Structure 1
Amino acid sequence: MRGKYLMCVFALAINVAYANERCEIKSIKSFYEYLNKQGPTLNLANKRKDQFASEVELAKQRPNPEVDLDYLKGDQFGLDQNTAALSIKHTIEFGSKREKRISKANAYSGLNSTQTDLSLYEANVDAAIAYQKIAQLQILINSVKEASVTFDKLVKKLASRKQLNPEEIVSLSTLRLASNEYKAQLNEIENERLLLLGKISFLTKCNSPRINYYRLSFPNFLSNQEQRNDSGLLQMEDLKVKLAIQELELQRSLGYSNIQLGPVVEYETQGRDEFVSVGIAITFDLPILQTNTGGKLKALKELEAQTIESSNNKQMLQIERENLSNKYNRTLITYKNMPSLQDLENKHIEVEKLFSRGLVSISMAIESHRQQVDFLKSLFDMENDLLVTYKNINLIDGDLHSFNKLLN
């Protein structure tokens, strides 16, 4: 019995140690690095890219040789007659069809792989923002809880008095309203945090991930001129046009007829006589009724439409990029001028000391707590807005590594 107990304790210790090993995420930086190395979204993205790459292998396939076997049996003037014919024909693709298929497959794979990289980057950054938001919400929860507890103490203190003056009656009513308001806010904030925590737990495979808040150091300014990289929303528009061009080239190649060419062997018996014939078989379509004019016309119109659409999208992205950059720069100036959490905490402690000494009225205490909560909300909203804007600028530029620099 004791042995079974020790085995259970040992197994539990191993599970705890394993869980702690899996939960070695202590900051938004380590969380983002984890996602880029072994996150579940990374595995899916790699499988998708392998899927797109397989399109090239599919395009490289050549037609298999075609085998024709004919057998005829009859009689001629009372003599048995048997005829067997065998031909093996190889398909020769004219118009560089195979090369055009491969070029289109490469364009398709490049476009979708780029889209996958951008989607992975966006998903990982959104998850990192969710991690940061959980840390922010925990600070906000502590602040709201403190205000609610403080107000409850004041309510209990005033309510215990046998007689209240008019000012105290109004203060008691105001405190009760403020306390209930903060409790409602607390419920809403905790629910939001719980939902976000579930997502982080799934991504980290950890039931209780450690969430710590770090105030990020954003770059001073971003240039209004976009940086061209191998992948980005701007580059994707070029890849879309490239795919449409390759589709047109493929349709043009389909206007040429293929030729099936190969040897033919015929064996014939008539009575006791045997005959063997050898020759060449050639099969091809006569380009009389059509040369894929409809397919070429359709591909041409799709290319023209895609060229116009991509040109419009690139202009809009350039305008959006400039506006995002200006927005980022303006927000960053305000963000850097805001006091730190430590400064806010020190000022709040001073107000609490003055209030405990009776030097600050109840209404001023309520206002002090309200301002602190509102300030935290504004600070965190601004921080999240900077993160989202930074992400969107990088999506346009295709700079998928700059977010790592932001976290260093």
Structure 2
Amino acid sequence: MLSILSNSRLKAAGTVLVGAVLAVSLSMCSGDKKENTADTSGGISKLNLSASPPSVPADGSTSDVTALATTADGTIGKGEVTFQVTNGSLNGGGTQASGTLANGQFSVKWACDEAKSAGCRGTQTLTANWNDRSAQVKVTFTEGGAVGDGGADAAPVVDAGSDGSTGGGALTITSSKPKMFAQVGDFATMTASVKLPDGGPVANEAVTFATDFGTLAATSAADAGTAGSLPAVTGSNGQAQVVLRDTGSVGTANVSVTRTSNGATAQVAVPIQAAQTLTYVSTKCGGIACTIMGVKNSGFNETADVTFKLADSTNAAVANALVSFELVGAAGIGIPQLVTTSGVTDLQGLVVANVKSGAALDVGIQGNRGRALGRRPARRAGSDPLEQEHHV
């Protein structure tokens, strides 16, 4: 029989940013004992897309589309990813773009100007391909900057609390997200807009972004972000962008932009919160709740999907966070196989670890802290929000 005790904690370590801990005790049901080989055939590679912001004006304004690829065994994807759209341009070129994944990610800038293409306005679809995986994301191109529906992956656009009026024109700054999460690889795109009195864009205008919390980087999701201030120049649409990243601490980033020509400034506040809890949700075999697994090649419940949920301090789901899993046990026959070594939380904050049967042996599954937990007695409820235990 397989009994599962889950114990969750948060951890940042390189690209592996959140660790989930499972203490697994395996006492298999009857069946012939088989040699445990490295079989990951049950896993699938994944390609996830996100757009930031999910809605932009159809005037040449850009949305950053980021691809995140993971392999069948849960490691960070490598190789080339391609992007295709029907309307608009990618990275200032045509309707196609491609690039090499860095830390499993690659980003493109998608713009659509209705002055150049009548089919721009409305919700458009971008398709990305990597190896045998394909994914899509939707971006809404609006008239006059009205915010539309960005699809399932949409993140709300937050307007700045202040703007700088400049000789009849205006300087504004917006954030692609109302809040960020620390230690999970999150980021937000800061967009500065410089406009003429009649609302037209001011191109080639020098501006400087600055933040009092977190770091700034160029507008690529793969950039680490090292600066507290960063110069930029507006494009033909009158906009300039940088990426805000966290440094592992919780607080509020006050991001400002200053226009070099006249000193006008604008500012937006972005709270950076903790991804508070990672909790056990369920264990299923073949889509059905289970507490028993058969040994490898027994034909009975040989695969279990263990689901966790990542939430913030208000119990709201934390999406698009990279979660890692590690299988730990003595070497040799009997170690069950961890098909997925990492996963990305969905919009509900859920992530799934897939375990395949081995022969009878007690083992542990642990996260990034580097120590096996084994079986542990239940803690007093609420004693540690980052260590939750649950018996199935």
Flag the structure with larger Rg.
Answer: 1
Relative to its length, the structure with more strand (as a share) is 2
Relative to its length, the structure with more helix (as a share) is 1
Normalised TM-score (structure 1): 0.21
Normalised TM-score (structure 2): 0.21
